A and B are shown apart, each in its own frame.
Chain A
């Protein structure tokens, strides 16, 4: 162990770390393989994580005959779109997709809007009760959903919203997370930019919308992506709040669809692909900012 890399140690008394001239940075052995030995470990591991999703895609284009024989086929003999045709022809599935889209779109929009307004007030305005309110807001971030779901159901029932999309939209209008995250971001912006506009007589609202928000795109995209992910993927609350199948979201619809069509696996998997695809595309499209947001919120939490 102590014998590793005696060369660079004596050769570089300066503090320059890992110079490019070092023969084997990272301590990997050269010449043994035409590529780094780490590939031998990482490639199979990555494949292991990919296989279930590959299998999802493959089985969605298999015929039910292929799936239902024993032992079932592991590779489709040809592309059979029967599953997709069944799912899209089933009147309810497109409906569920639309419902999910509506709920997610509303949640993303309102979280951005109300999160920005609230976050800006907490970041830049000093007002009576602001400190207490901020503490309260932070405290509610720690409240588990299971604690509030029963009374929330009762509130929604009194409002006459149970079994409507309103019941799904209302609790996700704005989260303390969105307010807090945007507040933190606004605090990191230099005040001088706003002050100039301020002194020219702009209102708070105008300063926020014309100066602050255009500078806050990273934080706004974080809120948008995470809000979309949580509302699109949620199952618990729709399960509680919705009874009638025309108001199902995609997640809720998919579980019941699976229960009712136990032998039509190709259709179930086609529906599953359609459920996963939007978040997958959103993730691949915004991968960098997505991961940055996860780690930054994670490390601070």
Chain B
């Protein structure tokens, strides 16, 4: 309460207020104790307010993070007391071919999924970013799979892609093509999982890109058009640079999502066939809750967390630079141009040099 500014902003004759304000502003009866007691009371109330959140977050986030670190230096089977083994878990991980395979699979999944979802999302967003009839329906249809749980997706697609009873192979046979193994084929399973995730995940990129496209200043596009830039030039030199921060965010987001993929794998392939879809989180889950080597699983989880942390940090750096460099310089250049509309010089190419010359 003491930090509240006096209600100077209240306009008009403050009929009943001055006494209150006086009581608040002037605690002369107890000059040293008044505000302090009040502050203490305020702190108590505030802690009461945040207590549930603090308990849950400390107990189920901060404590487990530390516990996990300790676990990763122990051998633990979730039942008997654990034993300290130092760095053995990490050493074993480095030598474990199954973990290496899980890392490879996860990286392959990420390398396939992230660029495809971004390019697809951007393309769809650009196509959807216009006022035509039914565009709302198109947007809804493309986004709806995003709310479908990974479990439901997994069950649905293991049905559609079932080699014997699935609609996909039925369609292929009708078209005279060879039926495929899909999720039962070690060479196809991982790309098929990427495709399923694209079906549900592209909608997110579309929605984020669409929102960002609304924010591209119309004046920039108009200015570029006045300078004679074609649609492709506007896309390359105005729209895409303006989308850079969003793209960086999406890259980060999608990398984090794909490094953590688990539910879909559990529901469809359980890591198979022949370990071709064993991803890192599946490996962690298997170690901790199937083989009951919790310490080993915790060590793998820490490796994953480290990778996620590094990704986040790297992206933060890139974003910091991207925010300052190409996008903003171009923007300021164009802004300068719109600020002082160039004299009518039709046919002047919209190159950076040309506009700069004109602005000066």
Contact = CB atoms under 8 A, between A and B. Distances in A.
The secondary structure that dominates the B interface is helix
Contacts of A115: 53
29 contacts: A1-B232, A6-B346, A36-B133, A43-B134, A45-B142, A49-B141, A49-B142, A55-B160, A70-B165, A72-B170, A114-B52, A121-B49, A127-B46, A129-B47, A130-B46, A144-B301, A147-B65, A151-B68, A155-B64, A157-B78, A170-B56, A173-B56, A233-B150, A252-B151, A254-B152, A272-B155, A295-B207, A295-B210, A298-B249
Interface in A249-301: 251-252, 254-255, 258, 265, 268-269, 272, 275-276, 279-280, 282-284, 287, 291, 294-295, 298-299, 301
- Which 9 residue pairs spanning A and B have beta carbons closest together? A1-B230, A233-B149, A151-B64, A127-B46, A148-B64, A151-B67, A121-B49, A295-B211, A118-B53
A74 interface: yes
A140 B211 CA distance: 27
Interface string B42-72: 1101110110111011011111110110010
A27 interface: yes
B222 A18 contact: yes
B215 to A, nearest CB: 9
A2 B349 contact: yes
B274 to A, nearest CB: 20
Contact of A74 (B67, B142, B167): B167
B60 A152 contact: yes
A145 B143 CA distance: 25
Contacts of B229: 1-2
Interface residues of B, number: 122
B73 to A, nearest CB: 13
Given A5-B225, A53-B144, A240-B289, A144 B149 contact: no
Nearest to B133: A35
B137 interface: yes
Given A2-B347, A233-B150, A147 B266 contact: no
A41 interface: yes
B163 to A, nearest CB: 11
A299 B222 contact: no
A14 B210 CA distance: 28
The secondary structure that dominates the A interface is helix
B152 A117 contact: no
B35 interface: no
A53 B132 contact: no
A99 interface: no
A299 B67 contact: no
Contact of A49 (B144, B157, B346, B349): B144
Nearest to B141: A46
A265 B165 contact: yes
B61 A254 contact: no
A46 B203 CA distance: 11
A291 B143 contact: yes
Interface string A137-175: 100101111111111111101000000000000110110
A49 B24 CA distance: 61
A301 B199 contact: no
A93 interface: no
B138 A10 contact: no
A17 B219 contact: yes
Contacts of A26: 130-131
Interface string B218-236: 1101100110111111000
B169 interface: yes
A125 interface: yes
A171 B260 CA distance: 19
B109 interface: no
A49 B174 CA distance: 22
A63 to B, nearest CB: 13
B10 interface: yes
A148 B61 contact: yes
B281 interface: yes
A147 B64 contact: yes
B294 interface: yes
Contacts of A152: 60, 64
B284 interface: yes
A137 B50 CA distance: 11
A28 B229 CA distance: 16
B266 A255 contact: yes
A171 B60 contact: yes
Contacts of B281: 146
A31 interface: no
B305 interface: yes
A39 interface: yes
Contacts of A232: 149
A192 B21 CA distance: 14
Given A71-B170, A149-B64, A268-B159, 17 more contacts: A36-B130, A41-B127, A67-B165, A72-B165, A115-B53, A120-B49, A121-B46, A121-B50, A143-B65, A146-B301, A150-B297, A155-B60, A155-B64, A173-B52, A252-B151, A291-B207, A295-B210
B50 A122 contact: yes
Interface in B160-202: 160, 164-167, 169-171, 173-174, 199
Nearest to B256: A144
A210 interface: no
Contact of B228 (A2, A127, A239): A2
Contacts of A32: none
A258 B267 CA distance: 9
Among A150, A195, A240: residue with most chain B CB under 10 A: A150
